[in-house]
Amino acid sequence: MIIRSKAPLRISFAGGGTDVSPYVEERGGVVLSTTIDKYAYTSLRLRDDKSITVQSLDYDIMAKYHVDDELLYDGELDLVKAVIKNMANGNGRGLDFFMHSDAPPGSGLGSSSTVVVALIGLIQRWKHLPLTSYDIAELAYQIERVDLGIKGGMQDQYAAVFGGFNFIEFGESAVIVNPLRIEPDILNELQYSLLLCYTGRTRLSGNIITTQVKNYVRGEGDVLAAMDELKNITLDMKNALLQGNLTDFGALLHEAWINKKKMASQITTSTIDVLYETAREHGALGGKILGAGGGGYLLVYSPFDRKHIIAEALEKHGGQVVEFTFDFHGLTTWEARG
């Protein structure tokens, strides 16, 4: 028997950074996001011996362990090891894991967290574990942020599990995912107005987030004010989206980016600035770098009659425009014969 899973990557429109500790415990955070048709895929095949193999198809890496081995975190395939240690060790059954993703780590689309969610989904399906969507997202956060100590927020895990458009509230004691009921005409127009552009490089989000946290804890500059304002903008963007005020939505995307950049100097780079200003000069209403910043994908909101012009200008400056559509299904698992 083979079990497979896929979980969607996400676009965060606003609020990213307010979901990071200690801000989230002290002041509460909010994020407006959606998932898209780029995925992390994982497969699990049961073996007749005591071996565990893990293969990353993206990086052509394969590792082999014994079921009784102590899985040490050494920087190679640690995400898979952590999931195995939490959910599969002690069953005495040999396992083959395969995984690949439509976007690399550091792309700003939440790929690492999405891989963890997909792996948890595999083992849940295999063992018939009674885990809710909230349970899976919380376990993914625990594995990635606590067990492995990877710096980051909470939004990626919940987006990957639930899928679709969500306004997510983060507090000291609970996370609440509010699915948004958006009219089809609004969704189609939003899809038509968005451009996704790869900047040409990935980044280590943990370094940027570490700086952001230090700036917040030290009370440096206007970091706190920017984060508080970003929460207000996120709420306004949610309301504009539900009401179909997409011109306002695009303008608020620009305001969110201005405040996001105040959290840490590494969030933007000269390359990102050139691409963003190029888009604005050619008619874009707003945009932002996705994820922690420093590289990855740039999201741009464009009037329909300027979209092709903006896309051409971005590619002339080294950007790579990528086609995408929205995803509404979240984590999905299934069984295959083989």
> 263: closest CA among 289, 312, 226, 297?
226
Contact 49, 68 (CB under 8 A): no
* DSSP secondary structure letter of residue 146: I
Contact 168, 159 (CB under 8 A): yes
Q: Does the annotation count 135 as an active-site position?
A: no
Q: How far apart are the first and last CA of the chain?
A: 6
Q: What share of the chain is helix, strand, coil (3-state, %, to 5)?
A: 40, 25, 35
Read off the tokens for 151: 């710096």
For residue 164, what are the β-bridge partners? none
Contact 64, 53 (CB under 8 A): yes
Residue 325 sits at the vertex; the CA angle it makes with 205 and 277, to the nearest 5 degrees, is 55
161 burial type by CB count under 10 A (0-12 exposed, 13-18 middle, 19+ buried): buried
Q: Sheet harboring 286-289: ordered strands across?
A: 286-289, 297-301, 194-198, 320-322
Q: Of the listed 19, 78, 102, 156, which one is catalytic?
A: 156
> 250: closest CA among 295, 315, 307?
307
- CA gyration radius, the chain: 20
| Catalytically active residues, by annotation | 156
